[in-house]
């Protein structure tokens, strides 16, 4: 809605909700795309229809003239399918050069028709809009917003295809009516079809690693062979791992061929730079290994930026620590590191990863707990403590922000796969500081990292310094 309001140029609330959609269902329209929304979809304004109705069309580029078929109407805007690109943008990737033959049919990727340089510009804009739209309440606007730094360019992924180390294809069970009628016993195995809840049959995903695609081939054949035994559909797990042959463990990545794991309970082994991580196949771990060294290098550098005081950072708190990725890779230079995570399987791997990487358990520890209670475990001086926050998409809870303001870490590095909730949490933090009459935080830097090339998603990293 923020993107629609911006294109329309007048407030959402000026809108008369009784305005009916100015179209027949499935009417085809020729429209010119004005902007891209954070969803990666194009927006076209029709100034002469419905008091400035907006059409939302996927797989387009601003400036393009396209034919679109409207199919669902909302308050002031309609969703439409792309029928034809009438006047393509000069920078549109030619159809024959698009990475995946299922692009525009599969719901997984939104941006394969856009050059990588333009994907980076789009994602930078997504980050900028998130902070403009979600971190600007009036008291904060006056006090802090003028001080937000310019949003940095997005850090690119070293590879833009074959990067995903995990995919989760789905399939549905056979239709009993088809079975009864003796129809062919084939099912669709793949990802959701764009704009629907139905499955599109996909035998290969070009953004997944070759090992994961090999695994997909085997899994598809097995599912087709045994499909009659499935009463319900299912979601499969395919995850890349480095096989460790017992007795041959070494400190270096093994030279053996990688394997594809499909059992949620198995353990995955992965190297991030010189660090080894074992983690449960069914638990969270970042899915683009290629970009992790640069993401971690940046987080490390941000943690140690100079403070506003003469103190220096000596302690690290890793909230939502998973299997210990940040706590372990960033431990150097800290007297003590403490991580908290709610998944018992992940925290047990985090503790084991300390041992695997020969870190002292006296100086680095991981606790099983809700991040909302993280500061209950901590006796670090807040003026020498840095906090890494890396929550799930929904961001931090009110309780988490309350305890954070009660503790006031000197440095915060907030990593997020959802820049909208990240921006909202910045507002939540600064609102609390204003309410308590505290000087608050300076935003040092906001930068996107492209953990998800070809898709609309961007990882945000924001650095704060206590004033």
Q: Which residues of this chain interact with ligand SAM, rule CB under 6 A?
A: 284-286, 320-323, 325-326, 340-343, 346, 370-372, 390-392
398 annotated as belonging to a binding site for a ligand: no
Give the contacts of 414 (CB within 8 A, at least 6 positions apart): 388, 389, 390, 422, 425, 426, 460, 461, 462, 463, 464
User: In this structure, are strands 77-87 and 28-32 parallel, antiparallel, or unpaired?
Assistant: unpaired
How many Cα atoms within 13 Å fall on the side-chain side of residue 394? 3
Write down the residue that tokens 């070293």 correspond to: 158
341 annotated as belonging to a binding site for a ligand: yes
Query: Least distance in Å: CB of 301 to ligand SAM?
Result: 17
Write down the residue that tokens 């969270």 correspond to: 284
3-state helix, strand, coil in the chain (%, to 5): 30, 25, 45
How many Cα atoms within 13 Å fall on the side-chain side of residue 255? 1
Closest CB to ligand SAM among residues 60, 321: 321
298 annotated as belonging to a binding site for a ligand: no
Residue nearest to ligand SAM (CB): 322
Closest CB to ligand SAM among residues 382, 403: 403
Query: Least distance in Å: CB of 459 to ligand SAM?
Result: 9
Query: Least distance in Å: CB of 270 to ligand SAM?
Result: 10
Task: Provide the H-helix boundaries in 389-418.
Answer: 398-407
The H or E element spanning position 393 is none
Pairwise CA distance, residues 193 & 105, whole Å: 6
Pairwise CA distance, residues 28 & 44, whole Å: 14
Cβ contact 228:240 at 8 Å: no
* Degrees to nearest 5, angle at CA 80 with 79 and 84: 160
Cβ contact 37:3 at 8 Å: yes
Pairwise CA distance, residues 67 & 28, whole Å: 7
Pairwise CA distance, residues 203 & 213, whole Å: 8
The token pair that represents 16 in the structure block: 């008369």
Among 109, 321, 349, 417, the one annotated catalytic: 417
301 annotated as belonging to a binding site for a ligand: no
| CA distances, 362 to each of 346, 357, 381 (Å) | 20, 14, 18
Cβ contact 43:8 at 8 Å: no
What b/e sequence results for 188-208 when a residue is b if at least 16 CB atoms lie within 10 Å of its CB, and e otherwise?
Answer: bbbbebbeeeebbebebbbbb
Task: Give the end-to-end CA distance of the chain in Å, rounded to a whole number.
Answer: 34
Closest CB to ligand SAM among residues 326, 441: 326
Query: Least distance in Å: CB of 316 to ligand SAM?
Result: 13
The token pair that represents 111 in the structure block: 């941006």
* Degrees to nearest 5, angle at CA 122 with 119 and 123: 85
Query: Least distance in Å: CB of 133 to ligand SAM?
Result: 22
Query: Least distance in Å: CB of 456 to ligand SAM?
Result: 18
Closest CB to ligand SAM among residues 76, 327: 327
Query: Least distance in Å: CB of 305 to ligand SAM?
Result: 20
- 106 is annotated as an active-site residue: no
Cβ contact 465:411 at 8 Å: yes
Query: Least distance in Å: CB of 20 to ligand SAM?
Result: 42
Please provide the size of the chain in residues: 467
The torsion angles phi and psi of 12, rounded to 5 degrees, stand at: -55, -40
Closest CB to ligand SAM among residues 3, 341: 341
In the annotated binding site for S-adenosyl-L-methionine, the residues are 286, 320, 341, 390
In the annotated binding site, the residues are 286, 320, 341, 390
Active site residues: 417
């Amino acid at each position: 809605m923020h993107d629609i309001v911006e294109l329309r140029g007048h407030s959402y609330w000026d809108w008369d909700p009784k305005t009916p959609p100015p179209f027949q269902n499935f009417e085809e329209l020729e429209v010119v795309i004005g902007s891209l929304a954070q969803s990666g979809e194009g927006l076209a304004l029709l100034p002469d229809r419905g008091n400035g109705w907006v059409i939302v069309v996927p797989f387009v580029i601003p400036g393009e003239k396209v034919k679109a078929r409207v199919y669902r109407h909302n308050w002031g805007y309609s969703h439409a399918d792309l029928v034809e690109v009438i006047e393509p943008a000069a920078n549109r990737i030619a159809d024959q050069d698009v990475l995946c033959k299922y692009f525009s049919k599969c719901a997984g990727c939104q941006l394969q028709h856009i050059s990588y340089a333009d994907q980076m510009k789009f994602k930078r804009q997504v980050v900028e809009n998130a902070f403009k739209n979600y971190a600007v309440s009036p008291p904060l606007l006056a006090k802090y917003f003028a001080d937000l730094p310019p949003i940095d360019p997005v850090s690119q992924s070293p590879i833009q295809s074959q990067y995903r180390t995990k995919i989760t294809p789905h399939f549905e069970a056979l239709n009993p009516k088809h079975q009864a009628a003796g129809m062919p016993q084939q099912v669709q195995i793949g990802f959701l079809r764009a704009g629907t809840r139905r499955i599109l049959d996909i035998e290969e995903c070009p953004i997944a690693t070759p090992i994961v695609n090999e695994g997909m081939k085997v899994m598809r054949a097995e599912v087709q062979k045994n499909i009659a035994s499935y009463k319900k559909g299912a979601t499969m797990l395919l995850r890349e791992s480095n096989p460790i042959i017992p007795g041959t463990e070494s400190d270096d990545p093994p030279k053996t061929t990688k394997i594809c794991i499909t059992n949620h309970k198995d353990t995955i082994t992965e190297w991030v730079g010189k660090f080894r991580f074992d983690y449960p196949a069914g638990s969270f771990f970042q899915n683009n290994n290629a970009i992790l060294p640069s993401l971690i290098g940046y987080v490390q550098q941000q943690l140690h930026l100079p403070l506003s005081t003469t103190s220096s950072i000596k302690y690290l708190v890793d909230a939502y620590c998973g299997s210990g990725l940040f706590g372990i890779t960033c431990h150097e230079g800290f007297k003590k590191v403490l991580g908290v995570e709610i998944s018992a399987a992940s925290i047990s791997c985090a503790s084991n990863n300390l041992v695997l990487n020969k870190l002292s358990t006296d100086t680095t520890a991981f606790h099983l707990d809700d991040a909302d209670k993280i500061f209950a475990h901590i006796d670090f001086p807040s003026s020498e403590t840095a906090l890494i926050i890396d929550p799930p998409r929904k961001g931090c809870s009110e309780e988490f922000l309350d305890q954070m303001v009660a503790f006031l870490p000197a440095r915060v590095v907030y990593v997020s796969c959802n820049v909208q909730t990240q921006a909202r949490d910045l507002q939540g933090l600064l609102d609390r500081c204003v309410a308590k009459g505290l000087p608050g935080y300076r935003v040092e830097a906001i930068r996107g990292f492209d953990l998800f090339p070809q898709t609309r998603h961007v990882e945000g990293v924001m650095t704060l310094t206590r004033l």
